[in-house]
């Protein structure tokens, strides 16, 4: 079976940067690197990093207290994950007394800066995103009482009446067309609203490349990445919207030959936290399937 791979599949630069920071801090195993929640949203990559003594503590949403074992044989360092954290969580982690390094994606840092700046100026800040996602939880921390999260039209219509200035940003991994629609609706009510399109370039590129797979003849789409990864789930949803059989998998082992018996061409894309070794193994497995030769 022929496999078409999306050009943008795999690590985005923010993920690559976070991994590089963690590995540099590990100093080839001389130090233990602790990350507050998963450094990136990929279980297989986190498992690989654990062999380099880079390991997750805390929890997905950065709510839990962290216990540092006093009898650690090696020195430890705290590294902040790519999704970022709230200023309150940052203060807490620094208070643990460990060396502290920030692996927050710079794109997320830009969003946090806009939220903090405009909330401080008295703006009500509307954040388009998933309220349970760690990136959004972190961004809300910069807005204080001025932050409001919307994940769709229903949430938008339930917002309180804003008496003053309004600004709007987006979680970095959302759909561009949905953000445009919701920001347009809000602008009808608040014509002076400041809208910042903060969906990152890597997310937009993945969404565009997925359309290219469909137009390039892919009869089915395989989306590789963590089941809890926001950008990967978005890719799978977008693929399904193009009326193509869509398979969201974490590893090649999840692929079943019979699922592709009617296909001669399959498109492959991957979320921003998916390592190359998994993408390669998925492509190789798909290429081994006979598919439809008629």
Show which residues are catalytic: 135
Whether the Cβ atoms of residue 197 and residue 179 lie closer than 8 Å to each other: yes
In 10 A of CB 258, how many CB atoms? 7
Written as six digits, the tokens of 219 are 């009869």
Written as six digits, the tokens of 128 are 């388009």
In 10 A of CB 64, how many CB atoms? 12
Whether the Cβ atoms of residue 79 and residue 25 lie closer than 8 Å to each other: yes
**Rounded CA gap, 175 and 182, in Å?**
11
Written as six digits, the tokens of 138 are 């972190």
Angle, helices 13-26 vs 43-50, to 10°: value is 20
Side-by-side strand order, sheet with 265-270: 2-5, 265-270, 220-224, 246-249
Whether the Cβ atoms of residue 212 and residue 268 lie closer than 8 Å to each other: no
| DSSP helix/strand/coil, 122 | coil
DSSP element (H, E) containing 270: strand 265-270
Q: What Å distances lie between residue 278 and 54, 82, 223, CA to CA?
A: 19, 20, 11
**Rounded CA gap, 292 and 294, in Å?**
6
Side-chain half-sphere exposure of 149, counting CA atoms within 13 A: 18
């Amino acid at each position: 079976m022929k496999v078409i791979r999306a050009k943008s599949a795999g690590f985005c630069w923010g993920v690559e940067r976070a991994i590089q920071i963690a590995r540099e801090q590990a100093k080839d195993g001389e130090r233990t690197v602790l990350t507050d929640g998963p450094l990136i949203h990929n279980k297989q990559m986190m498992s690989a990093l654990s062999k380099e003594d880079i390991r997750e503590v805390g929890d997905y949403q950065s709510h839990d207290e962290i216990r540092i074992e006093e009898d650690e044989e090696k020195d430890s360092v705290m590294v902040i994950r790519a999704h970022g954290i709230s200023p309150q969580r940052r203060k807490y982690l620094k208070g643990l007394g460990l060396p502290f390094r920030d692996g927050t994606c710079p794109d997320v840092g830009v969003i946090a800066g806009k939220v903090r700046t405009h909330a401080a100026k008295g703006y009500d800040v509307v954040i388009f995103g998933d309220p349970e996602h760690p990136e959004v939880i972190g961004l809300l921390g910069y807005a204080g009482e001025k932050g409001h999260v919307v994940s769709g039209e229903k949430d938008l219509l339930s917002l309180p009446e804003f008496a003053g200035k309004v600004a709007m940003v987006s979680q970095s991994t959302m759909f561009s067309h949905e953000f445009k629609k919701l920001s347009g609706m809000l602008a009808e009510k608040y014509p002076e609203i400041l809208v910042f399109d903060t969906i990152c370039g890597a997310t937009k590129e993945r969404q565009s490349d997925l359309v290219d797979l469909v137009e390039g003849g892919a009869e089915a789409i395989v989306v590789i990445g963590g089941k809890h990864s926001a950008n990967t789930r978005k890719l799978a949803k977008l693929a399904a919207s193009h009326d193509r059989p869509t398979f969201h998998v974490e590893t090649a082992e999840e692929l079943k030959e019979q699922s592709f018996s009617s296909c001669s061409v399959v498109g492959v894309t991957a979320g921003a936290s998916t390592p190359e070794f998994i993408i390669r193994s998925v492509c190789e497995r798909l290429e081994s399937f006979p598919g439809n030769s008629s």
